[in-house]
Each structure stands twice: as C-alpha cells, then as structure tokens.
Structure 1
Amino acid sequence: MIREDRFLISRKPFAIDLATVTGSQHERGDSIAFSGSANALWFRRRKGVTVACIGSLMLWDHYLPGRLDLADPHAVLSADLDGRYGGDCHGRWDGTGYWGAEDLDIQAQHLAILRPMLANYPSLPDGYDGWWTFQPVR
C-alpha cells in the first residue's frame, strides 16, 4: 500500500486503525506469503452521493521478497500488498440513511464513527492513520 498525504477520493484511500493490523507469514519457495487484515474507514461515492464506510481490509501477498516486521503496522501496510477487492463494508452512512448491521448496538457504534466522519469530509477520522491506497503511484 502507499500512504498519501492528501485525500483524493479517486485514489480510493483508506484510513486504517493501526492497532488492528494483524497477519501471518510463511515461506513459499524463495518468497514469503503474507495474509492479514485491518479495520478501516473510507469514503466513496454511490449514485453521486458521498458516503462514509466502516469495515475491514484483507491484506495479502503471495510473493514478498522478505519477511515483514509484524510488530510494525506501517511496515506491513507499506509492503506491496494486494487489495484488488477493496474493503469489506460492514456499515455505511450517507447523511440520511444507514446500511449495515441489524444489531442495534453495532449500528450505534458504527454511526458514532460514521456521522462525524461524513460531517467532517474529507478529514482523517480521529484514531485512524491515512490515507492509504492500493493504487500505484502516478
């Protein structure tokens, strides 16, 4: 992933909760295979409307040249990881409606994050590191 200083929605950036970056790795011939995940927030446009999303990212690469320092979330995120599928959205807020969890407690947790996130668009949400993208440098 690439960490960018400025927010551009077209680059499909993610704000990452660094405390949730986890993963495991093992040898795969002359390479290292890594599989992990992280909790994330992101903005997207749906039908012309900006939405705030909460969910998780699957992080992986089957052919890393060397081992990652799993104790350093920045080192993990900075690796050349695959993110072709984007985030797995668990909840979404568009300013008028919520989509996501049916459990009311989880809805309340999501909305406590998503409402101020959308209201402060495109600011980085408190407690998250960003903006991270899987897209190549232009």
Structure 2
Amino acid sequence: MIREDRFLISRRPYAIDLASLIDGPVSAVTAVWFRRKQGATVACIGNLWDTQRPTPKDVAEFLARHTDGRYGGTCEGRWDGEHYWGAQKPDTIAEHLELLRPMLANYPAIPAGYDGWWRF
C-alpha cells in the first residue's frame, strides 16, 4: 500500500489503526474510510485483510506487502449521518457510532488513533 498525505476520495484511501495487526490464517488490520453511496458521503469501519506468508511481524510489514486491493475493505459498520448499517450487538453499534459520527462530521479528517491516508 502507498501512504499519501493528501485525501482524495477518488483514490479510495484508508486510515489504519497501526496497533491493530491481527495474526492468523489471514492477517488483518482495522481501518476506517469514507465512500460515496448513492451521492452521499458515508463513514465506514472494518478491516483490510490479506493472506501473507510468512505472517507479517508488524503493521508496517503488512502494509508494505499488501498490494492487492481488488476486494477493498471489509465493512463492519457504516454511518451516513442518519442511518447506521452493520453490527447487531448494541455494544458494538455504540462503539462504531462513537467513532463514525465525529468522523463523518469532520470529513475528511483522519480520526484520532489512525494513520492515513493509505491506498492501493
């Protein structure tokens, strides 16, 4: 992945939680991003995953080796300013909205605790 300082929604960038590497058969990192859906801007939270062997030792290695963006991020929650889509558990919904509401309100700023912008 390539890190850019400038936000361009047309490049489909992601902001990454640099402390979120998940190891296993599939490696993943937590990410947030903005997209346009039916003319409206939405804020999304989810993960970027990749099957990497050997398993990356940290997020920097994961991002350096993650070059296939055809599947994009796996969205786990989305907020459009009026409607939420995603998780069904109330605690998870609350966590997502705590991040997504201010994220959308401050578009296109990077949320606190995330590093961006990353693109394929």
TM-score by length of 2: 0.89
2:41 alignment partner AA: T
Q: More strand by proportion, 1 or 2?
A: 1
Unaligned 5+ segments in structure 2 are none
Gaps of 5+ in 1: 26-34
Aligned 8 A contact 1:117 1:123 in 2: yes
Is contact 1:59–1:83 with CA below 8 Å preserved after alignment? no
Which of 72, 76, 80 is the equivalent residue of 1:86? 72
Aligned equivalent of 2:105, options 119, 127, 136: 119
- Provide the secondary structure at the position in 1 that maps to 2:97: helix
Q: 1:130 and 1:59 mapped to 2: Cα distance? A: 19
Q: Deviations over 1:60-113 (max 9, x none)?
A: 467xxxx78x34422321235212100111100000110111111111000000
Q: Does structure 2 retain, via aligned residues, the 8 Å contact 1:3–1:78?
A: no
Matched, 1:46 2:32: no
> 2:35, 2:43 within 8 Å by CA — same for their partners in 1?
yes
Aligned counterparts of 2:114 and 2:20: Cα–Cα separation in 1: 10
Aligned-residue RMSD, C-alpha: 1.9
Map 1:48-63 to 2 at 5 A: 48-60=39-51
- Can you list the C-alpha shifts for 1:98-134, whole angstroms capped at 9, x where unaligned? 0111111111000000000000000011000111101
Task: Give yes or no for contact 1:22–1:38 (8 Å, CA) kept in 2.
Answer: yes
Q: How far apart, in 2, do the equivalents of 1:15 and 1:122 lie? A: 11
- Identical positions, percent: 57
Q: Considering only CA atoms, is the larger Rg found in Structure 1 or Structure 2? A: 1
Partner secondary structure for residue 19 of structure 1: coil
Superposed, 1:11-30 pairs within 5 Å as 11-23=11-23
